[in-house]
Amino acid sequence: MNKQQTLPAGKADAPAQPPSRPGTVTAAAALTGVVAALLFGYGIYLVVAGLAEKPVLRGRAEVAGVLFAVFGLGIAWVARGLLRVEPWARTPAMLTHLLLVGLCYWMIQGSYYGQSVATGLFGLAGLVLLFVPPSHRVLSRDVR
């Protein structure tokens, strides 16, 4: 016997709905976007300062500035991925915030206590926002 399976009307042609974005993912994307903006801004500052002033090694200032700006653009792309609830964006966002926590430790070693507390709390807030259940639910991949 040849049985035909039918789908309910409208289900076959309808595109898959992306999961709704919880507020925790929006907040994590905002924190990641702040990191991206700071890195990009600092990179532009280094390039302009290297051209306008007389650094010891001008080429070093421009190269560092370009690298910071490129990293800032990459992290902005990750923040955009979080806003679009794309699972791939969770890992680089998590790595970004883990690096902030590591930077906090380095700042404590250099006696920058006030800045290190703010940096550490910022990094921890990003990590917590990426791991709370609503974020975990929409950003986790099914690896079966």
pLDDT score of 15 = 56
Mean pLDDT of 116-140: 93
Average pLDDT along the chain: 86
DSSP class of residue 14 equals: S
DSSP states of 74-125: HHHHHHHHHHTT-GGGHHHHHHHHHHHHHHHHHHHHTT-HHHHHHHHHHHHH
Task: Convert the pLDDT of each residue in 93-120 to its tens digit.
Answer: 999 999 999 999 999 999 899 999 999 9
Query: Do the beta carbons of residue 94 and residue 130 sit within 8 Å?
Result: yes
* DSSP tally for the chain: helices H, then strands E: 5, 0
- Establish if 5 belongs to a structural domain: no
How many CB atoms lie under 10 A from the CB of residue 115? Answer: 13
- Domain of residue 129: give its range: 23-137
- Establish if 27 belongs to a structural domain: yes
Task: Convert the pLDDT of each residue in 5-46 to its tens digit.
Answer: 555 555 555 556 666 888 999 999 999 999 999 999 999 998
- Establish if 14 belongs to a structural domain: no
Residue 62 has pLDDT above 70, yes or no: yes
Phi and psi for 55 in degrees, rounded to 5? -70, 165
- Establish if 143 belongs to a structural domain: no
Residue 61 has pLDDT above 60, yes or no: yes
Distance (Å, whole) CA 137 – CA 125: 18
- Establish if 15 belongs to a structural domain: no
Q: How many domains does the chain have?
A: 1
- Establish if 92 belongs to a structural domain: yes
- Establish if 47 belongs to a structural domain: yes
pLDDT score of 126 = 95
- Establish if 113 belongs to a structural domain: yes
How many CB atoms lie under 10 A from the CB of residue 27? Answer: 18
Q: How far is CA 136 from the centre of its chain?
A: 15
